[in-house]
Amino acid sequence: MKRTQAVWLLAGLAALGGSAASAAEMPERELGLLFGGGWADEDLVGGKDSEVNPLFGLRYGQRLNDSYNLFGDLVYGPYDGNRAGVGDADVTTLRGGLEWLFSKQQRYNWFLSGGLGLMNVDTDGSIDFTRPMASLGVGQAWEVGVNDAFRWEVRADQSFGNDDLPNAGLTNFQALLGYSWGLGAPLDSDGDGVANRIDQCPDTPKGAKVDVKGCPIDSDGDGVFDGLDKCPDTPAGVKVNPDGCPVDGDGDGIADYQDKCPTVPAPGTPDGCPPDSDGDGVIDANDACPTVPAPGTADGCPPKPVEAAPAKLTLEGVNFDNDSAKLLPESIVILDAAADTLKQWGEVKVEVSGYTDSVSSEEYNLDLSQRRAETVRAYLIDKGIAAERLTAKGYGEASPVADNDTAEGRAKNRRVELVPQQ
């Protein structure tokens, strides 16, 4: 084979390479066997330079980074020759160098190899030598099994500094097939125990259990993978937290799907609901009458019976400063009791009626009684009586209940009454 033909062959093979989004996973370190055929320079074998001779070899490879590998190989070949004074020749090459992965495919990589080494030639004649050499090659490496590789390569070896031959060197060509065994564990990027080559889920979270294809297992189907799931037997359809355990919104230790009161903490209870001894819907902790059913009430107690309102209630002892609507201190106790009474009357509307004695003018007394009635109304509202239940009305000196000619009678006429409005 002529040197120019080999150069064109190498260039053509390199041009076949393309690029791919994902690259084949080759062993990180490998040891392999090489077999093939070689063509020797006519300066060595004479007219038999086009004949193919068997080759045998060993190879070691190691990943350098994503684009380059280191390699070393030893190749031996017995060559038939008919050049006078030379005869047959045994050629052994030892080289080391780099492989550039210029095109990465899904199952294989294209590479260009370049290296330096030694070429040893041992002939039947008088020409025996060991000389430095350089080599250039192109080939492919294919994935095989879990961590092995198949390869082929075509290369040219050029020796230098041999004065016994024309052109001071030899150019030999080799076509090699090889099989390499990966040394050590195969690549497993996500650490799930399944080699990258057969891992169909290459981004499995750390700690998750996987199947033989490298995909995470989720036995209970809750979206949290086995190995990360702290509750791997969650019933189907149950909402879970990031740990894979059923959600417990109120934190009482009873999962929401089993908790009949999922928003009320009730630790230690069978159904997640606080005790309600009388079953009235008011839990015992808030039930002022825990043994008496009173559904619909705020405190769990039956409502107190509404006291029937009398025709009127005179607030005896409610007094004011002279000619004033300011309450005297002794009136406060009486008005507080009146507020409690009004609460017992339910929602009955009440008129606060004010009266005076006959001293002063009728117009003055009418105004004074109105002001006093309004003072009492304001006090009762402040004590919790709804404002819409109370009206204030001053009647002045009308409707006396005693004789205005005596001090005792006038005192009885100065009064405030609560009059229910039926």
pLDDT per residue as tens digits for the range 380-392:
999 999 999 999 9
Q: Which of 247, 305, 297 is nearest to 276 (CA)?
A: 297
pLDDT value for 18: 46
pLDDT value for 7: 46
The kind and range of the H/E element at 14 are: helix 3-15
CATH code for the domain defined by 313-420: 3.30.1330.60
The b/e string for 179-207 (b: 16+ C-beta within 10 A; e otherwise) is ebebeeebbbebebebbbbebeeeebeee
pLDDT value for 303: 72
Contact 284, 293 (CB under 8 A): no
Domain spans of the chain, in order of start: 3-182, 313-420
Spans in the chain with pLDDT lower than 70 = 1-22, 162-168, 304-309
Contact 339, 333 (CB under 8 A): no
Strands (DSSP E) contained in 105-170 are 108-123, 128-144, 148-159
pLDDT per residue as tens digits for the range 165-199:
655 688 999 999 999 999 988 888 788 878 888 77
pTM of the predicted protein model? 0.55
Q: How many CA atoms lie within 13 A of 374 on its CB side?
A: 9
Look at the chain and count its residues: 422
pLDDT value for 166: 54
pLDDT value for 3: 47
| Beta partners for residue 103, in sequence order | 110
CATH code for the domain defined by 3-182: 2.40.160.20
